Amino acid sequence: MQILQKSGMKNHTGIMLFILQGLTDDPHLKVLIFTFLFFTYVSTIIGNLIIITLTLMDAQLKTPMYFFLRNFSFLEVAFTTACIPRYLYSLSTGDNNITYNACFAQIFFVILLGAFLLATMSYDRYVAICKPLHYTTIMNSKVCNQLLLSSWLAGLVIILPPISLGFQMEFCDSNVIDHFGCEAFPIIKIACSDTQFIEKMVLIFAVLTFIVTLFLVFLSYAHIIRTVLRFPSAQQRKKAFSTCTSHMIVVSITYGSCIFIYIKPSAKEGVALNKVVSVLVTSVAPVMNPLIYALRNKQVIHAFKDLAKKIFFLLKQ
């Protein structure tokens, strides 16, 4: 174990290298886990890159809805890439070491939630359904860019204070993280300094984020439902609701998993169960999102078929 003696009067060592314990020591299970994570990771990258490519190239997808979907797909790629490749490397080589700085960098990108972006996407659906005649005027490119920038800045404001405090934590008893990647609560669990303040800060910021963004989502959909129910035609109501279904499914998956992981009384309890949920959040959810949007969206399917035909035509020449 690599250590670096800290200067000062405190009698402890500063750990500069962590050991990721992983999910299991069983070699057969490791093979199964590697196969599963490799498949889901590759599928996530391909699926989200297809969404990004289609929304960039197809003229019919040059709308605010797909602008935000493209950025959400990018966020999903960054989120899963922050932790899954590192664990795949550990499974294939047996090297479970990760440096102090790399560990906190991983935490930063994992916690960079898309909650604010999902709230922005719900506002886009509200304008499209409740104010259709003014949609292009309200959701112009300038407004879309400002909303996107605001979403990222809000996420950074929520992340930076606890990350800064995390760098001040002391690790003197153990450097073994009971997880397959670097996450806030498993690291807090092995800290030998007082972590009550940072635990409370993480809890408060998590609750604040979810309350604010969920309020915005519910507010948007309350107006949407009220407007849609006034439509005279059942076909119109069905079409309007279908444009929101994919977004609501993704919102449910994202918020449900994050509430389970981050909102709890103590960070030093339930780490074992969190590992299982984290695998689902970082591998299954990102691969489901492109499927949810693509399979329920005729425009995306049509754009994909057109792109496939163009690629086939070019390869045939």
CA–CA separation, 205 vs 148, rounded Å?
20
Whether the per-residue pLDDT at 156 is higher than 60: the answer is yes
pLDDT digits (tens, 9 = 90+) for 26-51: 888 899 999 999 999 999 999 999 88
CA–CA separation, 50 vs 56, rounded Å?
10
In CATH, the number for domain 12-316 is 1.20.1070.10
CA–CA separation, 88 vs 95, rounded Å?
10
Strands 3-5 and 176-177: unpaired
pTM of the predicted model, to two decimals? 0.81
pLDDT digits (tens, 9 = 90+) for 284-306: 878 887 888 776 677 888 888 88
pLDDT digits (tens, 9 = 90+) for 47-74: 999 889 988 988 888 889 889 989 988 8
Residue 97 carries which DSSP code?
E
The DSSP secondary structure of 52-64, one letter per residue, reads HHHHHH-GGG-SH
Type of residue numbered 63: T
CA nearest 139: which of 149, 121, 124? 124
Residues 6 or more apart from 191 whose CB is under 8 A from it? 169, 170, 171
Domain ranges of the chain: 12-316
Residues 6 or more apart from 174 whose CB is under 8 A from it? 190
